[in-house]
Chains A and B, each alone.
Chain A
Amino acid sequence: MRRIRIVEPGLLSTVQDLGRFGHSALGVGPAGAGDPLSLRLGNRLLGNDENAAALEMTLRGASIAFEDDAVVCLAGANAPEAKLSNGTTDRPLPVWTPTPVRAGSSLTVGPITGGSRSYLCLDGGIASEPVLGSRATHVPSAVGPAVLQTNTTLPLGEPVRGVLLAPLDASRRRDIEQVLTRCTLRITPGAQHDRFSTVSCEALVASEYTVSDHADRAGIRLSGPAIDTPDASMRSEAVLTGAIQITPDGRPLILFVDRPTTGGYPVLATVIYADLPAIGQVRARETIRFEWVTRDEARAASSALGKLIASVPMPRPTTHGTRGPAS
């Protein structure tokens, strides 16, 4: 089996696919890519299944040694200093560009800019052992592959050979970057919306909020004007990725992919599915706003995003280049 080795993990690098669903009644949260849009597109550009596992890197990327040949694609936020080295020459690795890499080469991703997460997608995907049906890492509960450390080796799956590799075209790239850098997040009423006053509902969309330094895969704390919360305490109920809890100090907390399955603070609103990838790319100290939309508008935004993803051509194996049965 082909392998890559982590030479240096960067700030926080994990294995992620699109998440682990169907086990929440056991207390197992979804995890998965913080920016699922970029993961899906990076995989598409390689001819992978959209759910194939990749390396999620946060703010500062990893250094990786290739023990075998592979085709890679960086997806998501930009990594302007990313370079491939074969020992004698270096060449840049641009984002959204499938690139063949020879065994013995190394990749240094370096700083991640214009967003907070970049994905290293690999042909065949990362083939670590699935746990409860997924290869995603839930960092707080340690379900799934361990957070990557120096010298961790990762197996790669069977690649699709002979595909015609092309970078993402400029027009789609602009469309996708617009989705990922969106700073007005659309919301619909959340699970405890009816416990909040009209004033609170209006307050959430009336001002800008700043992403605090306490922003990670589990949740994004916001600072800004306080919102009146219901007095009575509530018992723990199910929560959702993108749910906006109002904590007792009146600040919004957006629950994210490494959230628990239940929570004890009231949820005023939920960020729509189509805007979750933008949460995965937001950086500390950036400002965001919220905007109420209807459920039908939210679903229409999802359909539009689905169409954008489907419009990125999937490379198909050429007739003569396809490999025989898996060895």
Chain B
Amino acid sequence: MPPTLTWSSERSLRIATDDPLACWHALRASGLPGILDITPGFGSVQVEFEVVGLDDARVEDELRALFERTSEVGDTTEPLSHTLPVCYDAAFAPDLDRVAQFAGLSREQVIERHTAPSYRVEVIGFSPGFGYLSGLDRSLHTPRLDSPRTRIPAGSVGIAGEHTGAYPQSTAGGWNLIGRTPLALFDARHDPPALLRLGDTVRFEPIDMRAFDRLSEGR
């Protein structure tokens, strides 16, 4: 299905597409003038332009031509595979029982099913380096908390709806917390700053508290 274009302000377009990642790559490589930022979301990509000199028809024509050219090229970057160590100890997993209860499973079964799949980074958003991972076992789909926690520790691994992910910063959050990773997921002074990139694959590997402490020391 060709992407559909809708202006979401005088300075931005929402591009509805079933492949936001490919669309994002095509736009980044396009060299189109005046682009300030390109933001992929679920089922869409937003392009923000400098306001000066914008013209509806010209921008729409340029983008349509771009998508015709790139439809057969697709995404050319190699996704990376990551293994994130996660400690599922009760101290880090205040909502593991809730997820288990919702699924009708034991805590051990939840951990088993959470560490089994290879997930895909579908969207990065909410906060720097926060990846929405798709591929969560159906039985683990759990609604987010009714009222979000005001502050949760960095590295917390959670589940909300059909997604799982890890919080790079200590922020507010409404996901069900089932564990914690000792790895730094975002550091603005590193290059690249975010561990996960769009399209990368992620597996979770269970570790115990000793391994967590050992791996945390390097941070």
Contact = CB atoms under 8 A, between A and B. Distances in A.
Interface in B31-89: 36-46, 48, 51-52, 54, 56
B24 A25 contact: yes
B188 interface: yes
A21 B9 contact: no
A28 B128 contact: yes
Interface stretch (B105-113, B119-127, B201-209): B119-127
Nearest to B131: A27
Chain B interface bracket (under 10, 10 to 19, 20 to 34, 35 or more): 35 or more
A25 B40 contact: yes
B6 interface: yes
Interface string A297-315: 0110011001000000000
B141 interface: no
Given A27-B130, A190-B8, A235-B42, A22 B125 contact: no
Contact of B132 (A188, A194, A236, A295): A236
Interface string B160-193: 0000000001010000000000000010110011
A164 interface: no
Interface of B: 6-12, 14, 24, 36-46, 48, 51-52, 54, 56, 123-130, 132, 169, 171, 186, 188-189, 192-194, 198
Interface of A: 21-30, 131-132, 140-144, 188-191, 193-194, 235-240, 242-243, 260-262, 267, 270, 272-273, 295-296, 298-299, 302-303, 306
13 contacts: A26-B129, A27-B128, A141-B171, A143-B128, A143-B188, A237-B43, A238-B41, A238-B45, A240-B12, A243-B9, A272-B9, A273-B51, A299-B54
The 8 closest A-B pairs by CB, nearest first: A262-B125, A238-B46, A237-B41, A238-B39, A298-B10, A235-B42, A270-B9, A191-B8
